[in-house]
Amino acid sequence: MRTAVTGVEGFLGRHLRVRLKAAGIHEVVPISRRTFSEPELLRAALVGVDAVVHLAGINRDTDVAVELGNLALAEELVAALDDVGAAPVLVYANSIQAGSDSPYGRGKARAAEVLSCWSGKRDVRFVNLVLPNVFGEGGRPNYNSFVATFCQCLAEGSVPRIEIDRPVELLHAQDVARMIGESFHGPVEGGVVSVPGHHSTVGEVFSELEELSGTYATGSLPDLSSPFRLRLFNTYRSYLFPDWYPRALDEKADERGSFVEVVRAFGGQGQTSFSTTKPGVTRGNHFHLHKVERFVVVKGSARIAVRPVAGGEVRRFDVTGDEPVFIDIPTLHTHNISNTGTSELLTLFWASEIFDPADPDTYSEPVE
């Protein structure tokens, strides 16, 4: 599918381009500011296109430039389509501000009218996506979204000033890109699609970002159980890369080998660690009352032994990193793991909760 994207160099354009690449069925034709500035380039780009996504717009300039500039982009686009005889599906990234009494609102509304009128005359599908405030990875602070500004401040260790704590509706750029991809197919009439977002306030968004930032700074993953929090977290992380990385892990070593905690995850998502164990060494010999544990030998050979604390048969499992398997340790069972090979043993552990020294749920008891 040959898909032309105007404004491809912008924030939303970059997100859409990656989404279309992931779909694997699109030949993306980029239409940049330079393409619009040279009519022959614009016409060449539109030859044989199956779909056009119009993202290009003017957000910051004089009032006249913003209003008339957005209108002019739409007019130039449809004129070029007519010149090459193209009749593609047309998708327009509009704004909830369209129709408001502002230069931007008037310009976006007039552009929508031009595109809708053209698609009606050509009998092609036109989808007018009316979007709330869009945020996401790579947004420009103090330009694309206040979320980008907040993320940049937190990444730098500063606190932004919130002038007005107003209600806000937010939508992640990848959700927009997904809807654009879905809108290519359907009945010819298309029409206006008001895209709902996540309702919050400016202050609440900052508080949530501050919480995510504070948790991540400790080396832990925050609670990511809601899609909106996951989107916020991924957006925030994009402002840490690459300067914040790599981060050191806490390694504890003794005569048995080493133990490294890889990640702690809040919201009931547990803790992941790995250990190295020298040949002939046994680790463990303890039990838990409520903690779920999973053992995976990644490299080397080991024997995992498990016995009911109240009495019963010892179960032994000989495992190797050459054929990875997992064993979940039952509660009320003491257990250990021994390196039975001649080289270092590497074992991955996952526990259902973060280790708490005040309540470790770990009780010593030899397996045999």
How distant, in Å, are the alpha carbons of 230, 319, 368 from that of 315? 41, 13, 11
* CB contact at 8 A, 72 and 86: no
Question: Which H or E run contains 44?
Answer: helix 39-46
Distance between CA atoms of residues 181 and 355, nearest Å: 44
Active-site choice (104, 216, 236, 239): 104
| 239 part of the active site | no
Q: Which of 245, 240, 125, 113 is nearest to 180 (CA)?
A: 125
Helix ranges, 85-226 (H):
103-122, 146-156, 173-182, 202-217
d(CA 39, CA 344): 66
CA angle 276, 278, 281 (to 5 degrees): 110
Spatial contact of 94 and 106, defined as CB atoms under 8 Å apart: no
Q: List the catalytic residues.
A: 104
